[in-house]
Amino acid sequence: MVDIHTHILNNIDDGSNNIDDSIHILKQYINEGVKKVVLTPHYIENSNYSVENKQKIELFKKLSEEVKKQNINIELYLGNEVYLSDNILELINKNKIMTINNSKYILIELPMVNENPNVIDTIYNLKLSGITPIIAHPERYVYIQKDINKALEYINAGALLQVNKGSLFKKYGKASYKTVKKLIKKKLVHFIASDIHSSKNIYSSKKVRKKLKRLASNNYIDNILEKNGLNVLNNVEIG
């Protein structure tokens, strides 16, 4: 499995507190069938979560060296989970935020409760500049829970959608659980990822597949668990 949304890069946001925590999670990941992991620390302008690329890359190198030292058979990649902003392109150009593995794909987080009126314009502007936004955990947004067609609007504007594994297990409540099932049944999901912050909630690929088989075909499950993630890492189109 490819996990494109994690908070395993240590000492940078509300995820891993230290490198030992990160290594502990990655060792568990090996047992749960995860082979490739994208580290996507939060980037929220004018907050404590606004570490820029230079520092992220330094932390990434240290973690990668420790993974190699301990012979952990897992591949790490770097990106960001960027909170929606009108100047995302400027942040990319100024080397403050990072696309996934320096590809044309970037992970974007939206407001949880009230929809930002500039979402569609931001998606369009990113696409015009050759960047494809991946919307993180849409099933958790109240306005999508109330109207699933909002998700379709984002897709039609050019975005892709990533849901959280935990939503299948009611980690974020009943509304997210119901919404994630609807999104998957309608084939509006392009990726399923962990959004992991600690080792408390690691869901095995086997358990996730079992849940998904009640909602979708094997081919579609393969796409959202692995194939689409590989396409992102290789910077090719999502089929």
What pLDDT, on the 0 to 100 scale, is given for residue 171? 95
At a CB cut-off of 8 Å and minimum separation 6, what does 219 contact? none
Going from the first residue of the chain to its last (239 residues), give the mean pLDDT of each consecutive group of 10, the final group possibly shorter.
Answer: 96 95 94 92 94 96 97 97 95 96 98 96 96 98 97 97 97 97 98 92 87 96 97 93
CA distance 231 to 36: 12
Q: 182: alpha, beta or left, given left = phi > 0 and alpha = psi -120 to 50?
A: alpha
At a CB cut-off of 8 Å and minimum separation 6, what does 193 contact? 3, 4, 5, 6, 162, 163, 164, 165, 229
Domain ranges across the chain: 2-233
CA distance 2 to 81: 16
What pLDDT, on the 0 to 100 scale, is given for residue 33? 83
CATH of range 2-233; options 3.30.1380.10, 3.30.1360.120, 3.30.565.10, 3.20.20.140? 3.20.20.140
For the entire predicted model, the pTM comes to 0.97
Q: Count CB-CB contacts under 10 A for residue 193.
A: 27
Across 87-159, the runs of DSSP E, i.e. the strands, are 105-109, 132-136
| SS3 of residue 152 by DSSP | helix
Across the chain, the runs of DSSP E, i.e. the strands, are 2-6, 36-39, 42-43, 75-78, 81-83, 105-109, 132-136, 160-164, 191-193
What pLDDT, on the 0 to 100 scale, is given for residue 203? 85
- Name the token pair of 118: 């500039």
Pairing of strands 105-109, 132-136: parallel
